Amino acid sequence: MSGIAGIYNIDGAPVDRALLRRMTDAIAHRGPDGIHHWVDGPVGMGHCMLQTTPESVYERQPLTDESGNLCLTMDGRVDNREELISALKSKGARLRDDTDAELVLQAYECWGTECPARIIGDFSFVIWDKRQRQLFCVRDAVGNKPFVYFWDGSKFLWASELHQLLEDPTVPREPNEGMIGEYLADDITHTEETLYTGILRLAPAHSLIVESGRIKKHKYWDIDFGKQIRYGSDDEYAEHFRGVFKEAVRCCMRSFGPVGAHLSGGLDSSSVVCMVQTVFGEGLMEDRGFETFSMIFPGLPCDEQNYIQAVVDRWKLSANDLRQEDRAAGWLEQQVRFYQDICDYPNGSQTDAIKSLVQQKGFRVLLTGIGGDQCLTGVLYYLSEFVRDGRFLSLFRELREQSFPPMSRGGLFDLLRYVLVPLLPTSASQVMRKRWRATRWKPRWLGWITPEFAHRVNLAERLQPSAGAPKNLNPSQAALYELLTHGSQYHLTEMDERAASRFCHEQRHPFRDRRMIELSFALPERQRLRKDQKCILRHAMRGVLPDVVRTRRDKAEFSGVIATALHSAGGRRLFEDFCVENSTWVDGNRVRMMYEEMKQFHGSRDERYIHYVWPLWMVYTIELWSKTLFSSGEILGSSARPEANTTDTDYHFAALSK
C-alpha cells in the first residue's frame, strides 16, 4: 500500500510542481517511508512509499531506466516474481536489481503494452514513454489497487485517492447524478464512474494509453472460459486446489517484517490462517512473529469466539481479540471532509480497532479471507448482493426450518433463478428469464427514490447488470462473472483498501489472487456445492482446519451493526431535514417510514430489518456527502491531513542512483 500521483499536460505546458506536491501531500499517510517526485517538462510523477516487501527496502520511485526514456511510478506488488524474472532473462533483459518496480519497468521494455497480462499481483502503475510520447496506465486484474483519473483533453491527472485530483482547482466539482442514483439504490453497478462528473476509475484488468491527445483503453486480461479442471476423485481436486491456494497465501506473506492475519472465525479467514501455518511448517517462509487479530462481540448473535479460539488453540497462535469501540461524534463528517467522498461503512469501520492495533505493533501486512465467498460458494451465493425483494420471505423461513443448508434470502432467489429455472423445458425457461429481467427493476422496488429523479438519470437502465459474459457458461460461471465485473465489488474493495491505508499497512487477499479466480472458473459446480457450500475448500483443509470450523454451515450476519450505527448517529433525526430530498432525489416521507419500520423490526429481533439497513445507510451517507461538501454551493476544503515522516525530493532522469 503505497500511493501514486501524476500530471501530463498534453499541450506541452510545464508541470505545476506545487500542484504535484499537493497531490502527494494529500496522501502523506501512504508514504511513511518517503515521498519523491520526478518532473520532465509536461510530465510529472509522485510516489508515496510504504515498504512492505524485502525488496521494497531498496526501491526508490519514481523509477527511470538507464536511457532516461522510461519512468515508472507504481503502487503494487508482483507475485509471480520467479516466473517473470525467468521470462525477462530469456528475452535478454539485464536487471539492475530484483525490486518489483524494476521487474515491471523491464517487462514494459520487453513486451510494451502487452506486459500487464504477464504480471500477477496487486498493482496500479503508470509509465511515461518519452520515445513514444505516450503515458501507459494499468490496474491489476481484480482491482485490489485503486486508480482514479481526470481527463479534459488538455491534461491528464491520475491518483490513488479521489481527493488528490481535487487539489487542482480546475477539476470540476460537479456531482454525478447518475452515480448518485446507483448509491441511493444501493446497487453500484458501473465500474468507471465516481460521484463526480469527469473523475473516473480505471476498471480492473484494463490499461489506458494517453497519446496524441487521445485516450485508448484496453482489457488486457479476461477469464479463459474454455479452461476446465477435471479429475476422477475429490482427493485429486483437493490436492490441486491446495497447491494453488498455498501459493497464493505464500505470495501474500512476502514481507520484510512480521505478517498478521484477520481471523473472524469464518471458514475463509480461518483457512488462510491455517494455510499460513502450513507454509511456515514446510519452511516456505520464515515466521517473524505471526499474530492474528479478531473482533469479538460478546452476547451478540454475530459473536464467533468459539470458532476463533478453535483455530488459535489448534496452532497455539499469538492472538489479539478486540471489542468494537464507540466512535467520537462527527467522525463520519470528518471522513467526508478529508476524502471529499463517501464515508466508510459501519461493517467495515468496525475493524478499525484491528487496523489501529496492527499499526501500533508495527505490522505492515495483514492477510484476510475476503473473496472466498465469491470464488467458492456456488450458485446459492452470487446474486444475493443484488436481490432486494422480500416476497419469498415466508417460503425462505419454511425452507430454512427443513433439512436444507442455511441460505440467505438472496440465495433463495439464486436457487429459483439458477437451479429451478434451468430444469424447466427450454420454452418455459426462456419465458421465466425474460419475465425475471422485465420485473427485476420495477420502480416499486426502489420506492424511496423519486420517479422524477430515476427517470432523469435513466436509473432502471443504469442498474442493469453488464452483459459481457458468453452465453454458454454454466450457472455458477455466469453468476461469478457477473459478480466479478459488477461495480459494487470494486467499490467495496476500494473502500477497504482506503481504510487500511490510514493505518499504514497493506491488506492482502489470497482468495482474490488471479490464479485463484482462474481456478474457480475452471472447477465443476459439484466441487463448489453439494450438501455443503465450498466443499472443495472443506475437503482441502481437512486435518489442517479444526473440524468445528471446517464443518460449520452458518455465517455471522453483521447487518445489525449498520442498524446500530444509524441509531447512534441520530436515528430518525438523520432523515428529518434532507438536502437530498430538496434535490428531489429521494422521497423523504418514504425514507422516514422505512426507518421506523426498520427500527421496529430490529428492536423485536425480526430479521426483516435487513431489508432496510443498506438503503437507509446509503441515503444517509449521500445526504452527509451532499450537505457537507455542497451545502454552500461549492465544495469545501479538506481537513488537516494525517502527519507522516517523509522526505520530499524532485529529481530528473540523471539524478537517479541505485
Whether 586 contacts 449, CB under 8 Å: yes
List C-alpha distances in Å: 180 to 176, 185, 290, 409. Answer: 6, 9, 42, 26
**Can you tell me the mean pLDDT for 222-241?**
94
How high does pLDDT run on average in the chain?
Answer: 85
pLDDT surpasses 50 at 410: no
**Can you tell me the mean pLDDT for 107-124?**
98
Q: Residues 278-323: pLDDT tens digits? A: 999 999 999 999 999 999 988 888 889 999 999 999 999 999 999 8
pLDDT surpasses 70 at 427: no
Beta-carbon contacts of residue 566 (< 8 Å; ≥ 6 apart): 574, 595, 598, 613, 616, 617, 620
Give the pLDDT confidence score for residue 329 in this predicted structure: 67
Give the pLDDT confidence score for residue 636 in this predicted structure: 40
How crowded is residue 445: how many other Cβ atoms within 10 Å of its Cβ?
A: 16
Q: Beta strand pairing status for 43-48 and 70-78? A: unpaired
Whether 62 contacts 38, CB under 8 Å: yes
pLDDT surpasses 80 at 653: no
How crowded is residue 395: how many other Cβ atoms within 10 Å of its Cβ?
A: 12
**Which has more pLDDT, 345 or 5?**
5
**Can you tell me the mean pLDDT for 88-105?**
96
Q: Which three cell numbers stand for residue 32?
A: 511513511
Q: Poorest-confidence range of 63-72, 264-273, 466-475, 576-585?
A: 466-475
How crowded is residue 283: how many other Cβ atoms within 10 Å of its Cβ?
A: 7
Closest Cα partner for 159 from 118, 194, 109? 194
**Which has more pLDDT, 34 or 577?**
34
SS3 323: strand
Q: Which three cell numbers stand for residue 193?
A: 464512474
CA distance 497 to 202: 16
Strands, E assignment, 360-500: 365-367
For residue 399, name the pLDDT band (cuts at 50, 70, 90): very low
Q: Residues 6-60: pLDDT tens digits? A: 999 999 999 999 999 999 999 999 999 999 999 999 999 999 999 999 999 999 9
Q: Residues 358-388: pLDDT tens digits? A: 999 999 999 999 999 888 876 554 444 333 3
Q: Which domains does the chain have, with CATH numbers?
A: 3-221 (3.60.20.10), 234-375+513-550 (3.40.50.620), 557-641 (no CATH)
Give the pLDDT confidence score for residue 632 in this predicted structure: 54
Q: Which three cell numbers stand for residue 58?
A: 531498496
pLDDT surpasses 90 at 95: yes
**Can you tell me the mean pLDDT for 579-593?**
84
Whether 29 contacts 504, CB under 8 Å: yes
Q: Poorest-confidence range of 102-106, 249-253, 467-471, 522-526?
A: 467-471
The label of the residue with cell 505490522 reads 363
Q: What share of the chain is helix, strand, coil (3-state, %, to 5)?
A: 45, 15, 40
For residue 506, name the pLDDT band (cuts at 50, 70, 90): very high
SS3 48: strand
- pLDDT over 70 percentage in the chain: 84
How crowded is residue 349: how many other Cβ atoms within 10 Å of its Cβ?
A: 20
Give the pLDDT confidence score for residue 445 in this predicted structure: 55
Q: Poorest-confidence range of 42-51, 78-87, 147-156, 452-461?
A: 452-461
**Can you tell me the mean pLDDT for 595-606?**
91
